[in-house]
Amino acid sequence: MEKDSALQPDAASRGERDDERGLQPRDLSEFQGQEAVLAPLRLMLRAAKGRDEPLEHLLFTGLPGLGKTSLAMALAAETGKPLRMTSGPALTRGKDLVGILSQLERGSILFIDEIHRLPTEVEEYLYGAMDRFQIEWTFDQGVHARLLKLDLQAFTLVGATTREALLTPPFRSRFGHHLRFEPYSNEALIGILARSASLLQTKLELAAAQQLAEHSRGTPRVANRLLRRARDLAQLENQGCIDAAIVTKTFSLLDIDTLGLERPDRRILQALADAQGGPLGLKNLAVVVEEDEDTLADVYEPFLIRRGFLLRTPQGRVLTPSGWRAIGLNPPAAQHESAS
Ligand code: ADP
């Protein structure tokens, strides 16, 4: 199955991932948009600095590509403290975590991506580390069992998740602040694209930036991927200048239609249409479109829902009348009437 899409998290080649790194904001002043997240964060930073204390533990929630990792990196740059990055699935045993925690310097930022996928055993070790900067673990079993305690340097845990609801209440309550990332406005995306274009040493016309922003689903990662593809074409066909014609051609090469739908989006809508508009459970839909459930729920569906093409109902996913029309089909008569 064809998987190449500007949206596919794993479609990025190694070179593209390196490029993505090069485009990341280096500090808070370069981090654009997300004012609702940045304003309280700046306040916390000033207050913590005044008290000469590390920042409180932070939980970043939001869809993939909205800048959670970038913001953790910018925070580390801002505080001048070391950043240690890992992810929930990478920490399989308590021992892995103890190794990382014991090496943290005072004020370090420990970033755990996909924190909702942390195994329960590891999560429980984190509780003491978060509350008291101390880890306790039982060594040996039965009558020989001993409780060992390890004091840690005060650090800041930054957890990132696309699924806040999957975190247990005791874990969630240990984060001093929950910061919710929202999709970016087109204006903010235009700003991000302009910065990225200048880093890539490419000329980007305003009309082209507007078009790219409109098709970026409110997500800087998508905006930067579309930009890189447009840059390749511009380099070959337009002396490196991205104008509206180059963007239109890029969209057509990527098979992105006028509604901004990509192949996987259309496949999802078509699968629902084939099931008479649904409802279809996430598992079934994932099997039919050959995507994994998380990618379907976190990457594709939010955009289709925001555009009003798909609904999540307790019975499953349902195609709306606009969803039928988006793939050139007429909604069934009953649905058509109830929607009008
Ligand atoms: P997440 O961790 O939420 O999945 P990332 O931080 O990895 O998202 O962001 C993906 C890419 O998007 C980054 O490499 C960066 O180039 C770009 N990006 C994200 N947020 C911003 C922002 N606010 N300003 C500029 N670029 C951003």
Instruction: Give the alpha-carbon dihedral of 302, 306, 309, 314, to 10 degrees.
Output: 60
User: CA-to-CA distance for 138 and 37, rounded, in angstroms?
Assistant: 39
**Residues spanned by the domain of 248:** 186-253
Number of structural domains the chain divides into: 3
- Backbone phi, then psi, for 286, in 5-degree steps? -60, -40
| pLDDT number for residue 14 | 47
Pair 41, 170 in one domain: yes
Each residue's pLDDT tens digit, 316-328 = 999 999 999 999 9
Neighbours of 160 (CB within 10 A): 25
| pLDDT number for residue 338 | 54
Each residue's pLDDT tens digit, 170-195 = 999 999 999 999 999 999 999 999 99
Q: State the CATH number of the domain containing residue 227.
A: 1.10.8.60
Each residue's pLDDT tens digit, 292-338 = 998 999 999 999 999 999 999 999 999 999 999 999 999 998 655 55
Query: What are the tokens at 245?
Result: 């014609």
Domain boundary among 230, 253, 276: 253
Helix (H) / strand (E) containing 113:
strand 109-113
DSSP assignments along 46-57, one per residue: HHHHHHT-PPPP
Each residue's pLDDT tens digit, 240-254 = 999 999 999 999 999
Report the relative pairing of strands 177-180 and 203-204 from DSSP bridges: unpaired
Pair 46, 155 in one domain: yes
Q: Is 215 exposed, middle or buried (0-12, 13-18, 19+ CB in 10 A)?
A: buried
Q: State the CATH number of the domain containing residue 143.
A: 3.40.50.300
8 Å CB contact between 104 and 110: yes
User: CA-to-CA distance for 59 and 173, rounded, in angstroms?
Assistant: 10
Pair 274, 315 in one domain: yes
Tell me the percentage of the chain whose pLDDT exceeds 70.
92
| pLDDT number for residue 144 | 81
User: CA-to-CA distance for 238 and 235, rounded, in angstroms?
Assistant: 6
The arithmetic mean of pLDDT across residues 258-286, rounded, is 95
8 Å CB contact between 81 and 105: yes
Write out the catalytic residue numbers. Answer: 68-69, 113, 162, 221
Q: CA nearest 107: which of 127, 130, 79, 147?
A: 79
| pLDDT number for residue 34 | 96
| pLDDT number for residue 2 | 42
| pLDDT number for residue 60 | 98
Does residue 162's CB lie within 6 angstroms of at least one atom of ligand 1? Answer: no
User: CA-to-CA distance for 45 and 49, rounded, in angstroms?
Assistant: 6
The arithmetic mean of pLDDT across residues 149-176, rounded, is 95
Judge whether 159 lies within some domain. yes
CA of 7 to the centre of ligand 1 (A): 14
Q: State the CATH number of the domain containing residue 289.
A: 1.10.10.10
Q: Which atom of ligand 1 is nearest to the CA of 223?
A: 12
Pair 131, 84 in one domain: yes
| pLDDT number for residue 336 | 53
Domain boundary among 147, 180, 213: 180
Each residue's pLDDT tens digit, 27-78 = 999 999 999 999 999 999 999 999 999 999 999 999 999 999 999 999 999 9
| pLDDT number for residue 335 | 59
User: CA-to-CA distance for 213 and 190, rounded, in angstroms?
Assistant: 6
Each residue's pLDDT tens digit, 77-89 = 999 999 999 999 9
Q: Is the pLDDT of residue 263 over 70?
A: yes
Mutate to test the pocket of ligand 1, among 10, 73, 221, 228 (most ligand atoms within 8 A of CB): 221
